[in-house]
Structure 1
């Protein structure tokens, strides 16, 4: 198979096949099934790697092809290319359903040409060739493809031709289309010779593609590689016991059938082999981390009766929910143990995670230790300080003012004045401060603790491995770790991403939380609703309530999509789904503030801005004034997503709501309805009816169950958006696995991995599996594995 523009193979550069690289040098292979460099020290019995997989790709496909692959796919070795698995398969007799093509994504489709017309462009020289294709589903499903100066397309894409097209789906004139896609003609002659007939019935693998490197170019490279490799020499990382139970096809056969399946019945079995293999490698690596944690020595912090924690419980103005009490008891037992606790606590906004964390910190303080509370932003750190001091009352004022069982709580951030910072550093180092709340400033080399016994990490996905480890290193013995997140995480995502942590969920909301009603406000359908939104805001204000207005960017033509401080670590505030790539103007905080101040409906109200570029003192002052009721309308970025606890705020207006992910919208709306008054959230969008992102907004409005939304969010977005090192557009670290589709398989692999590691922690009896893990934990997905 060749593409219309050809693939530049450098066959003269071929200097042999299997057998090269016998010295075993090379950087190894990432991904499931990847085999790479072996540790320097031999560990008998030793798995013999297959060195050809570590060869530079140019050795087997030539320099020109290897250069093109590196440029477009970022692949350098034979093994990496071998593990560039197809995304899906097309049966040549079954044409693609054109009605279900996703907008703004690269697609590869199999279709038949029904018409071609060419016209001259009006404003410049040249022609446009419009090709109409069909999927033959019986429905009137067609798609128009446009080629600018497409001389070759004019000749080749005649009526009746069968071809495979690869390009980006865009919306033009209200209809989906492709512009200047790559394509390849396919044999479609029933009278072809026997070999052609065989090829015609074989499935067509569709590989991940880029605009300049379509699927069939990858297929051409793979087709060249396979005959040059002796795949039976690749060691199988799956122990025979589990391979037999799972009925896995042999590894060498799986490589062949996943790339060149003989029929539509063969590739699913090959995929199943690599899915389980990947799940086992991942879960074994995580099981080793859990095993290691269980055998580390930590200082047990047993409960002390009649001390600070009991005093706190006695003055707590409400009763813990059954869920809170259950998790508090569980955490108390783990902190008292002689090995470090590693627990993830997830729960809805307002479910009471802070109280659980505070009780754990007080238990450690009672036992003579200290607790560090790490927050991702200064705004959130200040909010936690405020809420914890409010909960503690005089117990947070230190022994001098608060009594014999009291402790001191200090804040440490990067923007603090030098004198205040010096005082906080001294309180932490001397042990005077039992609880130290801070941002990344806690990780600085000059921050020391007298006896760090517990680390609480809020919104863990915003911190990297190095940051977490830098804080752990400040303790003499491994400290206990409590990770919290208000972003609901589906079960298998938690099992995979946070697989080295034990997971607890708070599902009950404390008494006093009022229901939140969510409505979509589609301005494209109802332009007049915009004025009604601000009239509704005025009604809330006249009733003594307050209003949030959320925008996706700061403004002043800064070009920023999100507030840089609100979402550290590169997490995108806009959803990288169907809206991605459009050029519609986004609402910015600075512009919206000026606009709202001119509206008659809001005349006489106080409207202020809050975003990450403000000076720290200004941010804290604005937040404090809003909390005190001095501001009626707070126009903000997602800096308010977590931490804001203003009981009098009852209405949230989210402008350009389609720019946010479903889970993020759910977390944002949790800021209202916190004081016993019913909350309302308006999802404002300019998108037209039928747009995929409109459906996402309707899904958010239809349920208040964060776990249902998290699952739906994951189904509609790339899994890399949630699992990857980058929250948007990044690779997930998973090659074949789907954390939603493969739930049962992942659970089996987790049980198998735990069994293997408990019996053989160093995998001395499983050298091929150890080799797989050593290679699988690449630089890319090492952070993915250790996010807990």
Structure 2
């Protein structure tokens, strides 16, 4: 992408040397000129405004004042030694104070010289001062870096600062590279793309992102670099998708046979929604193309993804193939297994389950049945990816909540057949459109955006701690109607750092408010043995307990239609996505369901916005957009996908239009020149060649 000189190790740059080069590598992962050029400022200080000394107030963050040094003296001794300079303009005087680098100040800061002093003003008595000000002679000198009216501020670390690599130090190093090597920067985007979107050159963008002449040029630089970043992500994703469809054949599911027809006509307990029908049709078309399907189903909690997955697995069975369904936890795997058994009434197909707790004897039988083809559908956890698990003819893999699995884990399932099985990925975590285009840009995306007929929207209420008696009263009313209640706590034990009502204290309070024998309480949390957890959950599922007090272990995998109330304690401590997932545990029956968000009386602005959003809407996609604005993409997707989202410039929450432009451009390019053979696309072909990671079996999403 760049000329050789920009690949030069930083150790050879003026002002770096071995020690600083090692610091830059360890702290920022930067080791070449090119990498330092791509270490962009994260903010800028506006140096266009000058203040007079009589305009200063201690609330100001950073100011710059033009004045003259009228005196300078050393004050104090040993550790208290400092240099104090009197700094004056026509409106008054103030102090400039240095506690460190005193020798340098003594030799370089001159009486009678006019400077621009920049820093944070502090008030002592009736006099202002700035400690360790940035000083520049007045008027400023100009050069390739402009007049620095917008001063770049770079990410650094405490270790780097001790090695004189603070923001100012990095600024100087970047300046050296731009002065000496900027003409070696090569263009990365085709000229027709630059012209279409009126983008400035890469060379100009790098100059103005580090040293903008003005705000207009900074905006041009940022737009160019954001577009480039998002463009190349989409180029790779869509190239991978195209390669996969050409390279990997897929099993043909041409027949809709007895299993699908009997289930659809005689067993399905409700009518499919239009959204479910649309997604099933998309899957049917995918599995008739002769190439491997890679489809993501996004559907809100309770939207009916399991039925769509079941009909897809029955389609595989009708065509002589086995199917499997992998879930991230044993609770969720068992929940899916039970749902499939209930929907099929134990008929049509043979369903097995494999988890970490499956006994050795059960495993032996299961392995034999899988290899002989007796098992049509296997449900399980990570245990499915073990080498010992061999299928006779695996044709479809369904992965639930796939963001909880690593790439290599998913890939092991993919390798369990000569012809790679079709992949159906499901998530109940609504993903903002921009995030889906970036994380899953190489998958086809289906959205189930309707709830089954008869489902009533969950009513959500926010109550403060002072309204707790009202909450207890409401619980008693609902339990008297025969309903059940979840109460979720964020902690298991008391925390010294967080003033939260923990689960154990909550149970004591419940037992006081809801005494035996009228009320039974189940307790579930992640530190309990599995057997105890299963017993407590079963008590609740069977209706033998009315209240389940739990931690977020019940976020997924519990389906009790009779539970109509979800109470979330310390709701301000949860993220929006988690609150929405927890709320989805109710609203699964025909009765009206409720979610009560309990919080402390004092809330910060973000906490307040999260709780207001929950009260206002049940729409998971709307919630996910607000969550993206509040938390950023990395937090939403977790560590498994973080590599995809290490964006240096673009912001998926704010740059939706640029992302759409970049994706549309790539789609157009591949539409006209699928193999990038045209001369005008040689830059793009070279990019993919250099970046090429073998699109092999370890690449699912």
* Structure 2 length-normalised TM: 0.83
CA contact (8 A) 2:273 2:452 kept: yes
Deviation of 1:521 (Å): 2.4
Deviation of 1:441 (Å): 0.7
Unaligned regions of 5+ residues in structure 1, if any?
A: 1-34, 36-48, 97-107, 114-125, 128-148, 167-181, 396-405, 560-582
Secondary structure at 2:398's aligned position in 1?
strand
Q: For 2:596, which of 663, 666, 682 is the aligned residue? A: 682
- Matched residue, 2:111: none
Within 2, Cα distance between the matches of 1:687 and 1:226? 54
CA contact (8 A) 2:430 2:624 kept: yes
CA contact (8 A) 1:488 1:706 kept: yes
Within 2, Cα distance between the matches of 1:778 and 1:59? 30
Deviation of 1:541 (Å): 1.9
Indicate the RMSD between aligned Cα atoms, in angstroms: 3.5
Q: For 2:322, which of 343, 351, 370 is the aligned residue? A: 370
Q: Are positions 1:299 and 2:247 aligned together?
A: no
CA contact (8 A) 2:632 2:653 kept: no
CA contact (8 A) 1:54 1:78 kept: yes
- Matched residue, 2:684: 769
Gap change, CA 1:554 and 1:161, over 3 Å in 2: farther
Gap change, CA 1:689 and 1:722, over 3 Å in 2: closer
Q: For 1:482, which of 424, 433, 447 is the aligned residue? A: 424
Q: For 2:193, which of 237, 242, 249 is the aligned residue? A: 242
Q: Are positions 1:62 and 2:17 aligned together?
A: yes
Secondary structure at 2:430's aligned position in 1?
coil
Gap change, CA 1:346 and 1:56, over 3 Å in 2: same
CA contact (8 A) 2:186 2:203 kept: no
- Matched residue, 1:533: 471
Larger radius of gyration: 2
Deviation of 1:713 (Å): 0.6
Q: Are positions 1:457 and 2:399 aligned together?
A: yes
Within 2, Cα distance between the matches of 1:778 and 1:732? 17
Q: Are positions 1:439 and 2:381 aligned together?
A: yes
- Matched residue, 1:652: 566
* Higher mean C-alpha deviation, range 86-95 or range 408-417: 86-95
Q: For 2:30, which of 62, 75, 83 is the aligned residue? A: 75
Gap change, CA 1:85 and 1:777, over 3 Å in 2: farther
> For 1:495-534, what aligned pairs fall within 5 Å after superposition?
495-523=437-465, 526=466, 529-534=467-472
Q: For 1:387, which of 339, 347, 354 is the aligned residue? A: 339
Within 2, Cα distance between the matches of 1:303 and 1:635? 47
Deviation of 1:455 (Å): 0.8
CA contact (8 A) 2:411 2:700 kept: no
Deviation of 1:82 (Å): 1.5
Q: How many residues align?
A: 636
* Higher mean C-alpha deviation, range 654-663 or range 745-754: 745-754
Deviation track 1:293-336 (CA, whole Å, cap 9, x = no partner) reads 22121111113344444344322121111111121122112122
Within 2, Cα distance between the matches of 1:460 and 1:379? 15
Q: For 1:430, which of 357, 368, 372 is the aligned residue? A: 372
Within 1, Cα distance between the matches of 2:540 and 2:344? 22
Within 1, Cα distance between the matches of 2:557 and 2:447? 19
Select the structure with the greater relative contact order (CA < 8 A; seq sep ≥ 6): 1
> For 1:19-58, what aligned pairs fall within 5 Å after superposition?
35=1, 49-58=2-11
Secondary structure at 1:298's aligned position in 2?
coil
CA contact (8 A) 1:714 1:722 kept: yes
Within 1, Cα distance between the matches of 2:506 and 2:50? 48
- Matched residue, 1:132: none
Deviation of 1:516 (Å): 1.2
Gap change, CA 1:298 and 1:684, over 3 Å in 2: same
Deviation of 1:211 (Å): 5.6
Gap change, CA 1:723 and 1:760, over 3 Å in 2: farther
Within 2, Cα distance between the matches of 1:642 and 1:755? 40
Secondary structure at 1:597's aligned position in 2?
helix
Deviation track 1:370-400 (CA, whole Å, cap 9, x = no partner) reads 11101010000000001111111132xxxxx
CA contact (8 A) 1:232 1:251 kept: no
Deviation of 1:742 (Å): 2.3
> For 1:612-691, what aligned pairs fall within 5 Å after superposition?
612-686=526-600, 688-691=602-605
- Matched residue, 1:99: none
Gap change, CA 1:366 and 1:535, over 3 Å in 2: same
Within 1, Cα distance between the matches of 2:24 and 2:156? 11
Secondary structure at 1:692's aligned position in 2?
helix
Deviation of 1:606 (Å): 1.7
Within 2, Cα distance between the matches of 1:344 and 1:79? 37
Gap change, CA 1:732 and 1:426, over 3 Å in 2: same
Q: Are positions 1:185 and 2:133 aligned together?
A: yes
